[in-house]
Amino acid sequence: MDNGAKLKLLGEGARFDVSCPSTIAPQTALADGPGSIYEALSSDGKRVRLLKVLLSNACRHDCLYCATRCSRDIPRASFRPEELARLTTELAQAGMISGLFLSSGIVGDADSTMARMIETVELLRHKHNFRGYVHLKLLPGVSEAAVHTAVGLADRLSINLEAPGPERLTAICPGKSYERDLLRTLRWARGMIAPGQVRSGLTTQFVVGAAGESDLEIMQTTARLTAEIGLARTYYSGFRPVENTPLDGRDPTPPAREHRLYQAEFLMRVYGFRLDELVFEDDGMLPLDRDPKMAAALANQDQFPVEVNEAERWQLLRVPGIGPTGAERILAVRGKHRLTSLRHLEILGVRTDRARNFVTVGGRYYPREEPAQQLSMGL
Ligand code: SF4
């Protein structure tokens, strides 16, 4: 198989690994790329074009939802490290990419596959002088030594937890141990990262809706790992049925569920919400008909309205329509001038169509019947 055909096949295999939330950049290949080039956001907020590819789509595991599971009859291929390093360098020199997102199926044992992934990045860094961004997946079950080498090479490291707990994982990935193969690897990586290494941090990913889990379970695990391991991001990849897998008769996860999970994670990570401030339905799911910040505000109406001239920062951040930038501007301006109208808030970047039911401005209250919902990530 030539390199173009391999790139197509192994780029397709990497499609389900999320390099960026779908709400920030669509998880579709760029039209002018070879089918495996995606946009992602780097830690400093810049858009980077990544070659997203598997080193191999052969795998000894048989995860129920996965397109590359071993019992599925599909063409298999692998890059040799030098082949992929050279191809990445050529695409970078042509200005088509500025980074690599590298994952793989597990051929033989995890360490030997990880060794070939690491060799690819070492060749890129040391032979081809590639200075671009590298997001490297840690394979389930790799050794401490392999994690140590990866920490010295990558800008971002991640390992897919796939499910929020051991029972849920066993239901969809029977060959993996949650504690030994996944959590231990994340903890090793956290313990090894020295200042200046892995600048874009550690991340993980869940496949949402494959194991029958609730949003509450996912957010509980997200909150626990963010506190314990300091995850930079958590990604949520909605389950999509793949032909000729045991789950191919299941419905796909609605994109709205994925979106609500990203919004809820954003509230905890950026706005400082605690897990117990988020609102879940009786079945443990986030409401789909309203964004999580609006749901939290409506569930705690006794805490509103807050007076914008007096509220503390954390109170402002609980108001729908006021984000971190708006809160900072309100705090800065009100030290010098009293805010007296909704127009003042608008000038400071507040979405008053969302905020007006939850604030008073200079003692005046401007409610209207139905405050606006939030569709984008800012809340
Ligand atoms: S380990 Fe599981 S999810 Fe990963 S490639 Fe293999 S079968 Fe797919």
325 and 227 both lie in a single domain: no
Mutate to test the pocket of ligand 1, among 10, 18, 74, 106 (most ligand atoms within 8 A of CB): 106
Atom of ligand 1 nearest to the CA of 67: 8
Residue carrying structure tokens 């996912």:
218
Over the stretch 220-273, which tens digit does the pLDDT of each residue have?
A: 999 999 999 999 999 999 999 999 999 999 999 999 999 999 999 999 999 999
Residue 163 contacts by C-beta under 8 Å, 6 or more apart in sequence? 169, 171, 172, 173, 178, 206, 207, 210, 211, 213
Instruction: Please check whether residues 241 and 336 belong to one and the same domain.
Output: no
The confidence score (pLDDT) of residue 284 equals 98
Domain-located, residue 228:
yes
Question: What is the pLDDT, as a whole number, of residue 266?
Answer: 95
Return mean pLDDT, the chain. Answer: 91
21 pLDDT higher than 60: no
Whether residue 293 lies inside any domain: the answer is no
Q: To the nearest whole percent, how much of the chain has pLDDT over 90?
A: 84
Question: Is residue 156 classed as helix, strand or coil in its secondary structure?
Answer: strand
Q: Whose CA is nearest to atom 1 of ligand 1?
A: 61
Q: What is the pLDDT of residue 27?
A: 44
The answer to whether residue 66 sits within a structural domain is yes
Total domains in the fold of the chain: 2
Which tens digit of pLDDT belongs to each residue from 128-142? 999 999 999 999 999
Residue 69 CA: which ligand 1 atom is closest?
7
Domain shared by 312 and 172, yes or no: no
Question: For residue 284, how far is its CA from the centre of ligand 1 (angstroms)?
Answer: 27
CATH number of the domain at 241, please: 3.20.20.70
Residue 355, pLDDT above cutoff 90: yes
Residue 15 confidence (pLDDT): 79
Tell me if 371 is assigned to some domain: no
pLDDT in tens, 22-44: 333 444 455 455 558 888 766 56
Distance 109 CA to ligand 1 centre (A): 13
**Ligand 1 atom 5, closest CA:** 105
Q: Is the dihedral of CA 312, 314, 316, 322 positive or negative?
A: positive
- 196-206: per-residue pLDDT in tens? 999 999 999 99
Mean pLDDT in residue range 7-31:
64
pLDDT for 83: 96
Same domain, 110 and 222: yes
Cα 359 to the center of its chain, rounded Å: 32
Task: Please say which residue of 214, 235, 253 terminates a domain.
Answer: 253
59 close to ligand 1 (CB < 6 Angstrom): yes
pLDDT at 222: 97
Assign residue 334 the CATH number of its domain. Answer: 1.10.150
Among 210, 237, 253, give the residue marking a domain's end: 253
Determine the structural domain holding residue 326 and report its residue range: 304-365
pTM, 2 dp = 0.90
Q: Is residue 377 part of a domain?
A: no
337 located within any domain: yes
Q: Domain for residue 104, yes or no?
A: yes
330 with 214, same domain? no
Residue 282 lies in a domain: no
For 370, what's the count of Cα atoms within 13 Å in the CB-facing half-sphere? 5
User: Is there an atom of ligand 1 within 6 Å of 205 CB?
Assistant: no
Does 314 lie in the same domain as 215? no
Nearest to 155 by CA among 233, 258, 38: 233
238 and 104 assigned to the same domain:
yes
Is the same domain home to 330 and 201? no
- Evaluate: CB of 137 within 6 angstroms of ligand 1: no
Same domain, 169 and 317: no
Measured in angstroms, how far is the CA atom of residue 365 from the centroid of ligand 1?
A: 55
Q: Are residues 183 and 57 in the same domain?
A: yes
